[in-house]
Amino acid sequence: MEGDRDDRDLKAWRGLWDRASRPVALTGAGISVASGLPTGSAKWNGIALRELFTRRRFEEAPGVFFACYRDWLWKWREAVPNPAHAALAEAGVPVVTLNVDGLHRRAGSVLCLELHGRLSELICPACGLLVQGDRAFKETVPHCPDCRRILQPNMVFVGEPVRHFAEAVDLVGDADLLLVVGTRLDVAPVNQFPAVAGRKGIPTIRINRRAERLLPALIAR
């Protein structure tokens, strides 16, 4: 029974949590499923998002790219943080996230390293102007109001280097407990974080499902 297994896991994890003074959470798409958001396997008009959100697709067909972007932005901005996001924020746990949904910040997490950026923002690759993604609803292909270059989402395209990686490694390396929530960490370089923790003897708790129930139950003191 899943409920019994959850209770056993919580009993085993609680001692680790109670002894931790510097926990760090590493989160992926699974933590936002309870907020109604998709995992990385989602598709748009039959095309996998991992294929659409590439720089090649963006540069070759910006109109198609932004049609997808508008659909997903509309869906994602309606999502609200769930109890898992809220539990981490309320406990003041620093977060390293693979997500671009911004839900950790909306929940109140102060220290939040967004390795893949933020879907809700557009940035000019030429002058660096940052604007809200809603501009994509005003132009089929949104352009920078200053220099007229095509804007792009303020996020990392699939296959490109993540942001804040060195800072995230330092954060994980200084922790005394690593919470891995909603991600299998099956891609580089983020799959290195458990090894960083392991080399320093930092215990790891992995929660891949039902984080909206398990995290609040674990963190509540």
With left for phi above 0 and alpha for psi between -120 and 50, is residue 206 left, alpha or beta?
beta
Strands laid side by side in the 177-181 sheet: 112-114, 95-97, 23-27, 177-181, 204-207
pLDDT of the residue at 3: 54
14 pLDDT above the threshold of 70: yes
The CA angle 49-52-55, to the nearest 5 degrees, is: 130
Query: Could you tell me which residue, 199 or 50, shows the higher pLDDT?
Result: 199
Mean of pLDDT over the chain:
92
Q: 77-81, 103-107, 109-113: which has the minimum mean pLDDT?
A: 77-81
Q: 1-5, 133-137, 214-218: which has the minimum mean pLDDT?
A: 1-5
pLDDT of the residue at 51: 81
Instruction: Tell me the domains of the chain and their CATH numbers.
Output: 1-37+81-116+161-221 (3.40.50.1220), 39-78+119-155 (3.30.1600.10)
pLDDT of the residue at 41: 67
63 pLDDT above the threshold of 80: yes
pLDDT of the residue at 188: 84
User: Helix H segments across 102-155?
Assistant: 103-107
1 pLDDT above the threshold of 60: no
Instruction: Read off the pLDDT band of 182 (50, 70, 90).
Output: very high
Q: In the beta sheet, which residues pair with residue 8?
A: none
The pLDDT of 124-138, averaged and rounded, is 95
The pLDDT of 104-111, averaged and rounded, is 97
pLDDT of the residue at 40: 65
pTM of the predicted model as reported, rounded to 2 decimal places: 0.92
pLDDT of the residue at 42: 74
- Residue 85 falls in the annotated catalytic set: no
The pLDDT of 72-88, averaged and rounded, is 93
Q: Which residue in the list 104, 116, 143, 164 is annotated as catalytic?
A: 116
pLDDT of the residue at 67: 93
Query: Could you tell me which residue, 189 or 168, shows the higher pLDDT?
Result: 168
Query: Could you tell me which residue, 184 or 114, shows the higher pLDDT?
Result: 114
